[in-house]
Structure 1
Amino acid sequence: MLEIRGLTASVGGNDILKGIDLTVPDGEIHAIMGPNGSGKSTLGYVLAGREDYEVTGGSASFNGIDLLAMEPEERAAAGVFLAFQAPVELPGVNNANFLRTAVNAIRRAQGEEELDAVQFLKLARAETKRLHMPDDMLKRNVNVGFSGGEKKRNEVLQMALLKPRLAILDETDSGLDIDALKIVADGVNALRGPGFSALVITHHQRLLDHLVPHRVHVLSKGRIIRSGGPDLAKELEKSGYASLIAEAA
């Protein structure tokens, strides 16, 4: 379970999060929506431990673990995964080697045996096939020369291999066509079940058509101003945020 209470945070001296209260029960997918500049990505970065994002108050825990007291790599080892809105390129770093190193680091932290090269490639190829990714993507450098859709699929591939307990998707649907959007959603849905929760940050209701979240939360000016079921996203698609923001003012 993800439990956030009174979370405040700043970036470069500017207050962004101004008191977030949010609970994501075990096994549930929750969506975060809101206008640009409302603090959606900041919330994801704070939970993942990205540097330069200063927590100024409140708490955040996952399955009883104090996330805010942990280094980013410790959060990853505990099962927290962040899919970036704009995945970075890593020239000179082979994708398969990068993924195997990440998978084995998590396995070591969780007391499991590491995968040798043959075991890993068998697993990785099965996942690339499921995600409709060509095998040669494993041979390329991480995200170098990848299209926008390929970069997002590579993020979902990482998630599928790492099997996190909490996945934070920061606008992973941004810039995707309909087919790629469904592949991203299918990657998340494949992990659904007890022991997996997700916080999906998105501008678009169309992703939620495939994911069908348990709850939708609207963030504005650093605060959650309304929460509801999946129909809330459809309401926002029709009417926008203005009326909700006006009501919350």
Structure 2
Amino acid sequence: MSHPSAAPFTRAGILAGVRLSLPLWPSIAVFGAAFGAAAAQRGLSLWEAAGASALIYAGSAQMVTLEVWGRPWSVSALLAAMTVTALINARMILMGATIQPWMRGSPLWRTALTLFVLVDASWLIGVRHRSEGGRDLGVLFGAGIGLWPLWVAATAAGHLAGALVTQPRAYALDMILPVFFAAMLAPLWRGVRPALPWLASGAVALVVQHLVPGYAFIAAGAAAGLVTGLLVDDGAAR
């Protein structure tokens, strides 16, 4: 049962979210196919690879976990996979926190479905929609669910195709995602002060990536952005 003050969740909003995700489809298709091909090379079956994409739905975490994938599994390999996944997905904590006020009052089932399909792209589409005065949570859900079946299908196709789709740079398709993010972020610019957490996060991540091997730069960047955001908000309140 929705709370009277809960944000709307409409069919029109879902369709709008799907439409806004369309520019990402070529990049997601290539990325998913690359994961499928890499999974096949690691010895995963078609159903294991497609199942991972359907149930986990976390492209970067899935791809990186393949680097520590092994059979038979050892305790150290399992701990490494868990640590890598936790580091990469730590950003989801901050993303979830930013949309929590928007989702307040929504039924549990709706919240669970929306968070299940929450990825970086859908989060950014939703945040931009809300910054422009929109309230329809269907946009956030639609952007995520619009990419989910494509991700699964591309994984299966990549697994079947083997190594044929592991070079997206040859077609410049690897540039679609960063260009899309840059285009979506530009209208969100509200001056230097609100951008400080993003700048601090990026700077710290780059430094840590250069100095520390592995994926600690993801957690370091997220922590730097969180601390900077708290300091900026505290300063504004004063």
Which protein is richer in helix relative to its size?
2
Please say whether Structure 1 and Structure 2 have the same fold, judged by a TM-score greater than 0.5.
no
> What is the TM-score with the length of structure 2 in the denominator?
0.23
Which protein is richer in strand relative to its size?
1
Q: Which has the higher contact order (CA 8 A, sep 6+)?
A: 2
